[in-house]
């Protein structure tokens, strides 16, 4: 039989469509015997409820959306998002929710996608990542009343809940560790300056370095790509007061930085210490393996997914603070030379 409907089941079981619906949804209104018979028939003919029909009669679309507005060349090598997605899936799949993905070019386009998705009732909620200062997406989401969860923060998201981890604390941990090793000139290669978490990390970095009375604490802005990370590193290493340690905002840039250092004849970690943010397998793949700020990104994604599903179900939701990134020392950090 070709794509059976509840009408087919009803016919076979000799009952009405309504009875089938009650039976399959575990609702009262049918006897246990009938329910079992109907479920058996459904299984036998391989019935799956038509999601469109279900969504149409008031129910949910059983899908959530994720838009990514970073260029493909960044996404392809950036392990963060796939980790996040695998975390989403762990939660979504168990509740038969689908994940709809769309790559876009800008936050403005993201807004357009949200409007369309919601208007079409294609999704019940969305994940929002890469929060910016005065993000254009937030007011639109509120206007649409589209359930959403912001990944990363904390930021000004009004009524929209966030899942965030304590970046400031993690920065402090890394800087204190380098300080304990004896470093006094530390630099930081950041991601896109317009992203809120970049700013939060930057402020924390400046503050801790000031507190510790460092000689210098420069931040060079990059964009998460290896090219930019390499360029920023080259710039730092050529400066008069060369830093003895560099903290990178993601592991791709850290790997690129390692490569630049080696290319310039510096030994890592003897001449230069390197700390990566986010600890994908990439960090263990290079030589020396990179000291990194590790966090369980998949778990982060899973928490966000639970949060979003709760928001969709109109359960009360609060911001979640996920476990902070923890420093995982490896071979790329050591006391400074001299």
Partner DNA sequence: CATGATCACTTTACCGGTTAAGCCACTCCG
Partner DNA sequence: CGGAGTGGCTTAACCGGTAAAGTGATCATG
- Strands 216-221 and 245-248, bridge-based pairing: unpaired
Q: Which stretch binds a copy of itself (CB under 8 A): 6-14, 214-222, 235-243, 252-260?
A: 252-260
314 or 318: CB nearest DNA? 314
Nearer to a copy of itself, 39 or 77 (CB): 77
Q: Which does 100 bind (CB under 5 to 8 A by kind): a copy of itself, DNA, none?
A: a copy of itself
Pick one of a copy of itself, DNA, none as the site partner of residue 267 (Cβ within 5 to 8 A by kind): none
Residue 14 binding: pick among a copy of itself, DNA, none (C-beta 5-8 Å cut-off by kind):
DNA
Interaction of residue 59 with DNA, rule CB under 7 A: yes
Q: Closest approach of Cβ 287 to a copy of itself, in Å?
A: 4
By rule CB under 8 A, what count of residues binds a copy of itself?
A: 64
Structure tokens at 31: 């006897």
**95 is an interface residue for DNA by CB under 7 A:** no
Q: Interaction with a copy of itself in 199-238: which residues (CB under 8 A)?
A: 225-227, 230
What's the min distance (Å) between Cβ of 208 and a copy of itself?
29
User: Which span sits near DNA by CB under 7 A: 42-50, 137-145, 152-160, 326-334?
Assistant: 42-50
User: CB under 5 to 8 A by kind: which of DNA, a copy of itself, none does 255 bind?
Assistant: a copy of itself
Give the binding-site size for DNA (rule: CB under 7 A): 30
Residue among 297, 281, 306 at smallest CA distance from 92: 306
Of 58 and 338, which CB lies nearer to DNA in the complex structure? Answer: 58
How far is residue 112 CA from its own chain's centroid? Answer: 21
Residues 83-142 that bind a copy of itself (CB under 8 A): 83, 85-86, 89, 93, 96, 98-104, 115-116, 118-122
- When binding is defined by CB under 8 A, the residue of 19, 61, 148, 217 that contacts a copy of itself is 61
Which residues on adjacent β-strands are paired with residue 149? 127, 161
The residue with tokens 């989403």 is 88
Does the protein bind a copy of itself through residue 147 (CB under 8 A)? no
Q: Which residue has the tokens 């009408």?
A: 7
Cα angle value 180/279/65 (rounded, 5°):
135
- Closest approach, Cβ 188 to DNA, in A, equals 50
Q: Which is nearer to a copy of itself, 83 or 269 (CB)?
A: 83
| Among the listed residues 58, 158, 213, 316, the single contact to DNA using CB under 7 A | 58
Nearer to a copy of itself, 242 or 284 (CB): 284
Distance CA 214, CA 79 (A): 32
- Are residues 68 and 23 in contact, defined by beta-carbon separation less than 8 angstroms? no
88: buried, middle or exposed (CB in 10 Å: 19+, 13-18, 0-12)? buried
Which positions lie near a copy of itself, rule CB under 8 A? 3, 46-56, 61, 63, 72-73, 75-83, 85-86, 89, 93, 96, 98-104, 115-116, 118-122, 225-227, 230, 252, 255-256, 259-260, 262-263, 280-282, 284-287, 297-298
């Amino acid at each position: 039989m070709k794509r059976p409907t509840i009408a087919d089941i009803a016919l076979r079981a000799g009952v009405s469509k309504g009875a089938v619906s009650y039976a399959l949804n575990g609702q009262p209104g049918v006897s246990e015997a009938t329910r079992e018979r109907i479920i058996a028939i459904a299984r036998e003919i391989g019935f799956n409820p038509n999601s469109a029909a279900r969504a149409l009669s008031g129910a949910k679309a059983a899908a959530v959306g994720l838009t990514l507005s970073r260029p493909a060349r960044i996404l392809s090598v950036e392990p963060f998002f796939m980790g996040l997605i695998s975390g989403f899936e762990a939660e979504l799949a168990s509740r038969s929710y689908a994940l709809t993905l769309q790559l876009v070019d800008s936050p403005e386009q993201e807004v357009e996608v949200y409007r369309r998705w919601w208007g079409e009732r294609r999704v019940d909620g969305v994940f929002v990542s890469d929060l910016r200062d005065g993000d254009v997406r937030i007011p639109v989401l509120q206007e649409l009343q589209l359930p959403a969860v912001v990944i990363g923060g904390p930021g000004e998201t009004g009524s929209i809940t966030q899942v965030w981890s304590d970046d400031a604390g993690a920065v402090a941990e890394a800087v204190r560790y380098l300080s304990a090793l004896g470093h006094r000139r530390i630099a930081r290669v950041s991601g896109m300056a317009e992203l809120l978490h970049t700013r939060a990390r930057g402020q924390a970095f400046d503050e801790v370095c000031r507190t510790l009375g460092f000689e210098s604490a420069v931040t060079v802005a990059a964009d998460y790509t290896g090219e930019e990370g390499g360029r920023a590193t080259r710039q730092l290493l050529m400066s008069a007061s060369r830093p003895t340690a560099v903290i990178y905002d993601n592991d791709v840039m850290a790997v690129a930085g390692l490569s630049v250092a080696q290319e310039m004849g510096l030994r890592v970690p003897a001449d230069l210490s390197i700390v990566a943010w986010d600890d994908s397998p990439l960090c263990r793949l290079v030589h020396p393996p990179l000291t990194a700020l590790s966090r369980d990104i998949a778990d982060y994604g899973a928490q966000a997914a639970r949060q979003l599903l709760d928001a969709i179900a109109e359960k009360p939701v609060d911001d979640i603070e996920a476990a902070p990134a923890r420093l995982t020392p490896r071979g790329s950090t050591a006391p400074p030379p001299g």
